[in-house]
Structure 1
Amino acid sequence: MATDPREYDKAMPIVAAHLAKVERAVDRTRGTHAGQPFAAVHQALAEALQDDGAQRVVPQVVEELARQNSGAVTGP
């Protein structure tokens, strides 16, 4: 099944706007919660995404972003 290139052109501004919202939420959360426990960062990030209207993010992505910005220690 081929995708019509015009559909791509129509979708890209929507995708770019959504990604900008996600980036703002992540940056804001990083600024206020960096180094805090995972649960606190995860909750703050989820709330920031909701506030920015970007709550439609894959849960595993939210968890990974929260892990990266928390004080969680990971493997070597």
Structure 2
Amino acid sequence: MATDPSEYDKAMPIVAAHLAKVERAVSQTRSSHAGQPYTTVRQALLEALQHEDAQRVVPQVVNEFARRISEEPEQLPF
């Protein structure tokens, strides 16, 4: 099944906007909760994602960001 290239062009701004929201939520959480316990960080990240209207993130991605903010806050890509 081939995808129409125009569909890609239409979707990319939406994807980029969503990723920017996720990046803001991760950065905010890292700034306020770096090094804190995982469960605290995960809850703060979920709240930040909700605040950014970016709740649609794969749970495993949320878990990994929370773990890294908790355990390795200086090694995140954002």
RMSD: 1.0
Unaligned runs of at least 5 residues, structure 1: none
| Identity rate, percent | 74
- TM-score (structure 1 length as normaliser): 0.93
State how far apart, in whole Å, the 2-side matches of 1:71 and 1:2 are.
42
Question: Which residue of structure 1 aligns with residue 17 of structure 2?
Answer: 17
- TM-score (structure 2 length as normaliser): 0.90
Question: Which residue of structure 2 aligns with residue 42 of structure 1?
Answer: 42
Number of equivalenced pairs: 72
Larger Rg: 1
Instruction: Identify the structure with the greater helix proportion.
Output: 2
Unaligned runs of at least 5 residues, structure 2: 73-78
Shift of 1:38: 0.0
Note the alpha carbon deviations across 1:9-67, whole angstroms, 9 max, x for none.
00000000000000000000000000000000000000000000000000000000000
State how far apart, in whole Å, the 2-side matches of 1:71 and 1:3 are.
40
